[in-house]
Amino acid sequence: MPDPLPLHDGCPQPRPDWVPEGCASDPAFATWVMQGVRPSGASTVRPPTRRRPTLSTEDYVRGVLARDPGVLGRAITLVESNAPAHQRQAQEVLAALLPHTGKARRVGLTGIPGAGKSTFIEAFGLRLAEQGRRVAVLAIDPSSAVTGGSILGDKVRMEKLCRHPNAFIRPSPSGGSLGGVTRKTREAILVCEAAGYDVVLVETVGVGQNEVAVRAMVDAFVVLLIAGAGDEMQGIKKGVIELADLLVINKADGDNLPRCTAALAEMKRVLHYLRHATEGWQTTVQTASARTGDGVADVWATLGQFFTTGERTGSTARRRREQAVAWMHALIEEHLRAGFYGAEPVQARQAEIENAVANGALAPMAGALALLAAGGR
Ligand SMILES: Nc1nc2c(ncn2[C@@H]2O[C@H](COP(=O)(O)OP(=O)(O)O)[C@@H](O)[C@H]2O)c(=O)[nH]1
Ligand SMILES: [Mg+2]
């Protein structure tokens, strides 16, 4: 029970503070302070502000394997965390999930901003989800960290897919280095696989190096192109096309259709001269429109052929083995680099040696040896 309210002038009913002394029984002051009504049995103790209970490693593992979407989301948040304690737990969770991973089709999808990636994924993902497949979408969008706008746009463009029980959509953490995003996305793929997703789509904005990073973590790579945007701009010269197993000339609808048909013929010709991304697979090109739905099913059909071929030739399994080994080396390099540049004696001498190299007082090789020596190497 709360403390009883102070009585006023000995009056059995308390009066408000502003009632002058000695006027408690004056009928001119008609206000009384009444005891508040409390439902019987209600606690007088204020409940603590609700915090989600922390999950144990076992809770994470059990929840992910039970396909609990809430736990899946939290497991990915754990994997994405940069806090050392979280990273330790994340590695425990991943180690326990590892035997349950590897069964999904891992598909990367890239294209310049505005190529129609999100709209395409909505149409494509919904198709798969409605066929009973479980689809996870991991979207890496470095621009969203700055503008915040594209995530909002994606929510609108993937509205139906967002709500479909067979789909799980997760934007990448904003900011952070490409290396950080790469680690998090790789690990998020594994968590999604353990949660029983059959298809994991990794969407990335084609702005440069992140296509290469995504290519190194997926089985199949799809590049969305739009007719008339300028080949150079879309990465033909940057070699993005050479990363692709499947090129899709998107927005092939309405007035744009003739241009897309022309682009299709042109691209078929170009493909003869390019190196193919996957051994034993001839990179294909086709048109599609997420707006009309034309060609969307064909993209899945082509991917089906790609995976069938990959099983027959063993190229998918081989690529995964190579990816795992390359990733291990990338992690070692990252660890060594961080350890070296983070060491106090290296930090103490780095600026001075850099200046000497910049001024020409020291050759780059001599500078490298001096800094390595400072770091005890
Ligand atoms: N005509 C047409 N427009 C499309 C199609 N797909 C996307 N768009 C439009 O292109 C713009 C960019 O689409 P969005 O999916 O956000 O592209 P993203 O930046 O690659 O994710 C939006 O205005 C879409 O409405 C399509 O198949 N046909
Ligand atoms: Mg988008």
What helix, strand, coil percent values describe the chain, rounded to 5? 50, 10, 40
Pocket, ligand 1, Cβ cutoff 6 A:
111, 113-119, 153, 157, 250-251, 253, 289-291
Of 249, 121, 102, nearest to 190 by C-alpha is: 102
Q: Where are the alpha helices (DSSP H) in the chain?
A: 57-65, 69-80, 84-97, 117-130, 142-147, 149-157, 159-163, 178-194, 210-215, 257-271, 296-313, 315-342, 344-359, 364-374
Residue nearest to atom 8 of ligand 1 (CA): 116
Q: What residues have CB less than 8 Å from 208, skipping those under 6 apart?
A: 238
The string of pLDDT tens digits covering residues 205-227 is 876 677 888 999 999 999 999 88
pLDDT above 90 covers what percent of the chain? 60
Residue nearest to atom 28 of ligand 1 (CA): 251
Q: Where are the alpha helices (DSSP H) in 112-222?
A: 117-130, 142-147, 149-157, 159-163, 178-194, 210-215
Cβ atoms of 225 and 115 closer than 8 Å: yes
Task: State which of 25-39, 102-116, 354-368 shows the largest mean pLDDT.
Answer: 354-368
Residue 220, beta-bridge partner list: 107
What is the model's pLDDT at position 375?
93
Cβ atoms of 207 and 143 closer than 8 Å: yes
Extract the tokens encoding 307. 């995976």
Distance 50 CA to ligand 2 centre (A): 34
What class is the 101-313 domain?
alpha beta
Longest dimension (CA), the chain: 103
Q: Is the pLDDT of residue 146 over 50?
A: no
Residue 222, beta-bridge partner list: 109, 246
Spatial separation of the C-alpha atoms in residues 29 and 24, rounded to whole Å? 8
Q: Confidence class of residue 310 from pLDDT cuts 50, 70 and 90?
A: very high
Q: What is the DSSP letter of 40?
A: T
Give residue limits of the domains in the chain. 54-100, 101-313, 325-374
Spatial separation of the C-alpha atoms in residues 236 and 299, rounded to whole Å? 21
User: Of the ligands numbered here, which is closest to the C-alpha atom of 150?
Assistant: 2
Give the pLDDT mean for 8-15. 55
The string of pLDDT tens digits covering residues 260-302 is 999 999 889 888 888 889 999 999 999 999 999 999 999 999 9
pLDDT, the chain, mean: 85
Q: Is the pLDDT of residue 178 over 70?
A: no
Phi-psi category of residue 103: left, alpha or beta, with phi > 0 → left and psi -120 to 50 → alpha: alpha
Spatial separation of the C-alpha atoms in residues 135 and 161, rounded to whole Å? 9
Question: Closest ligand 1 atom, CA of 121?
Answer: 15
Distance 206 CA to ligand 2 centre (A): 11
Q: Among 110, 118, 119, name the best residue to mutate to test ligand 1's pocket (greatest count of ligand atoms within 8 A of Cβ).
A: 119
Extract the tokens encoding 208. 């440069």
What class is the 54-100 domain?
mainly alpha
Residue 247, beta-bridge partner list: 223, 285
Task: State which of 50-59, 60-69, 254-263 shows the largest mean pLDDT.
Answer: 60-69
Q: What residues have CB less than 8 Å from 1, skipping those under 6 apart?
A: 44
Q: What is the pTM of this model?
A: 0.81
User: Of the ligands numbered here, which is closest to the C-alpha atom of 249?
Assistant: 1
AA identity, residue 129? A
